[in-house]
Amino acid sequence: MAAPSREACETMERSIRDRVPPLLTDLYQFTMAYAYWRAARHNEPAVFELFFRDNPFDGGFSLFSGLHDCLLFVRTFRLTHEDVEYLRSVLPPATDPAFFTFLRGLDCSGVTIRSVPEGTVVFARVPLIEVAGPLAVVQLLETSLLCLVNYASLVCTNAARFRLAAGPRRKLLEMGLRRAQGPDGGLTASRYTHIGGFDLTSNVQAGFLFGIPVAGTMAHSFVTSFSSLEEVWPQTLVAAKGGSDPVDLISLTKGWLGRVCKLLGAEHGKIREGELAAFLAYAIAYPHNFLPVIDSYSVSCSGLLNFCAVALALFELGYCPLGVRLDSGDLCRQSVDVRNAFKLCGEQFSISDFPSLTIVGTNNISEQTMIELNKKENEIDVVGVGTHLVTCTRQPSLGCVYKLVEVRGSPRMKFSEDTEKSTVPGRKSVYRLLDTEGHPFLDLLCLAEEPVPKAGVTMSCFPLGRDDTRQSVTPAQVTCLRKDVFIKGQITHPLCSAAETREKVQSSLQNLNPRHKRLQEPDSYTVAVSENLHNLIMAIRGGSCNNSINFLLAN
């Protein structure tokens, strides 16, 4: 798929504006903005970093997503008159009215964003996005950027894990909208699970907005809404090649049903007439796209037989049905039974396409089920995943944070008794070090002014979370992980379509060493700081007390 058209971009931008208005943020962003403004610090140059502290799902990697939405958000960030009036009503009455005039004029024309490209494999503690600009503005963006990255990256990572579990061949369908956390939970899930490796979505709006291929046929309610063959209308179908008179599809199918029952040794008595009626009505509406759900009553006693009969009638008229959907019970066992029936029909009635019809399986699939699926004999071609995919049941939040690292050129650091929660100060460059096989093995955070690490040259660094232990590394290749994506209010690179980012995900995963890519008990990837950055951290930690003494004694 090509880059999205101008029109598609405008629709997406409108969608982001509708879904992420500037007031969709925490109140404290505005209370802080006022305090900065009141202290005349609102325009001081500041730098924030966005990162997460742990890979989700006990995994060895994550996929960075949500940048596209962040960029559309910052480009259009502007408070309306109504927004500002609402803020006036909730901030204390003593708030200086000039502050509201200031808010009304705010935009992101002074903001610069450097980011890891969307769809890249990333690791915990690496600053993914750097947002630089006037202190009050970059502070105000916090909640919105976190909200846009957190879930997008989480669900994209989840999808990529499902894809790894499923293997490259099986088609994956996302169908979680009804179980999503709010309407946009569904829309965001559809976009980012596609990017993470799903092929199709059931979500029509996601198809409309993002160009993702949509899929879907029928629910059980369609089947149970029919009770007799009298409800089938029209009852005829013209052969695929045309020309001849319309054929009575009911009679034709009834003939096939008798033969199918005989072939498969099935009892007539358990076949549901309503189900056959539903399949016929559907086949007449969609002779080229016949794929019914066959477990509304009983797969083996009714659904499979009805399907084979209608499918054989369609084949006779020159159409090729698509296949069946299984939505309950033991999907593996049933898929094998269904495939065997398809093969028998194909052989018996000499229809070469019958054995390879598609079998779709959809029944509360989790990553674990998907892994188990691969260990068992099964004939499932397409897997539909809903709840476990979109709500990320195993870990429903990623925990991204947005931390201040520099103000007026001077590094800032948050301490914490829990050292994991301390931040890494200063504006940085982030390099990815590759080994001789081309696999990334270490992400290195350096001070922005440091020279780029050289391939083939050994250097010292300090892995984060390993108690200041020095490590020597010699990269075979070095890449700069982030690039400028938004400069002074302008998006500097064309936005990628969902399909393009989806390719980026697969190629980024391709490069990842299998030991980090393992779904269970992966080796942890090293993220380290340079010697200079390590020295800065030590200096800030150690030097802090002296400053404090000074200010108290200086009075």
Going by C-beta distance under 8 Å and a sequence separation of 6 or more, which residues neighbour residue 466? none
Nearer to a copy of itself, 168 or 553 (CB): 553
Among residues 381, 378, 393, which one has the least CA distance to residue 335?
Answer: 378
Copy the structure tokens of residue 243.
């020309």
Residue 108 CB, shortest distance to a copy of itself, in Å, is 18
CB of 471 to a copy of itself, least distance (A): 28
Half-sphere exposure of 447 (CA within 13 A, CB side): 16
Of residues 11 and 474, the one with the C-beta less far from a copy of itself: 11
Polymer length in residues for the chain: 555
For residues 443 and 453, the answer to whether their CB atoms sit within 8 Å is no
Least distance between a copy of itself and beta carbon 210 (Å): 12
121 vs 152 by CB, closer to a copy of itself:
152
Backbone phi, psi, residue 45, to 5°: -65, 130
User: Running DSSP on this structure, what letter comes out for residue 250?
Assistant: H
Asked if 462 and 440 touch (Cβ cutoff 8 Å), the reply is no
The amino acid at residue 13 is E
Helix (H, G, I), strand (E, B) or coil at 434: strand
Closest distance to a copy of itself from the beta carbon of 88 (Å): 12
Q: Which token pair is 427?
A: 């504006």
Nearer to a copy of itself, 220 or 439 (CB): 220
What is the spatial distance between Cα 65 and Cα 158, in angstroms, rounded to a whole number?
12
Closer to a copy of itself by CB, 82 or 468: give it: 82
In whole angstroms, give the CA distance from residue 335 to residue 294.
Answer: 11
Nearer to a copy of itself, 229 or 478 (CB): 229
Q: How far is the CB of 104 from a copy of itself (least distance, A)?
A: 16
| Cβ at position 317, least distance to a copy of itself in Å | 14
Burial 315-335 (b: 16+ CB within 10 A, else e): bbbebbbbbbbbbeeebbebb
Query: What sections of 248-302 are H helices per DSSP?
Result: 249-264, 273-285
Q: How far apart are CA 245 and CA 252, in angstroms?
A: 14
Question: 29 or 511: whose CB is closer to a copy of itself?
Answer: 29
Cβ 549 to a copy of itself, closest distance in Å? 5
Cα separation, 395 vs 408, in Å, equals 38
CB of 15 vs a copy of itself, minimal distance in Å: 8
| Integer Cα distance of 139 and 500 in angstroms | 31
Closest CA to 384 of 246, 240, 533, 179: 179
Nearer to a copy of itself, 224 or 506 (CB): 224
Pick between residue 234 and residue 438 the one whose CB is nearest to a copy of itself: 234
Kindly state the smallest distance separating residue 183's Cβ from a copy of itself, in Å: 5
Shortest CB 237 distance to a copy of itself, Å:
11
Residues in contact with 87: Cβ distance below 8 Å, sequence separation at least 6, in sequence order:
23, 30, 79, 100, 103
